[in-house]
Amino acid sequence: MPGYLPLVETAAGINCAVFGLKIDSSQPEYPFWALLEAPDSGVRLEHIEVNALPGVTPASSPPCAILCTYCTEASLQGMPLLYNIQGTYSLYAPAR
């Protein structure tokens, strides 16, 4: 699972309480949960693209950042790319 740790370390430093998840079906999401210590840390992770995930409901509120395992574009949902590793694992968050 290369890429998760540096991505999550960067994510933890942006003071975001609700992360949107865009995860390829071949990628596990549990490392995000474990490394961000969600929900015990107060962080929520919510799927924002659920058309391919039966039984998963969409996010209840807009995320303040997005974790994505397949995105590489310069911005996503109006948020610039803050971090990318290996051309896949990406973090999008508003510029601070």
What are the tokens at 94?
């508003």
Average pLDDT of the chain, as a whole number:
82
Q: What does the domain layout of the chain look like in residue ranges? A: 4-92
Q: Give the closest residue to 80 by CA, choosing from 14, 9, 6, 1.
A: 14
What pLDDT, on a 0 to 100 scale, did the predictor assign at position 19? 92
What pLDDT, on a 0 to 100 scale, did the predictor assign at position 70? 87
Residue 54 confidence (pLDDT) above 90? no
Residue 87 confidence (pLDDT) above 80? no
What pLDDT, on a 0 to 100 scale, did the predictor assign at position 55? 58
Output the pTM of the full model: 0.81
Q: Can you tell me the mean pLDDT for 31-45?
A: 89
Cα distances from 11 to residues 31, 51, 52, 53, in angstroms, run 13, 25, 25, 24
Secondary structure of the chain: what % helix, strand, coil (to 5)? 15, 25, 55
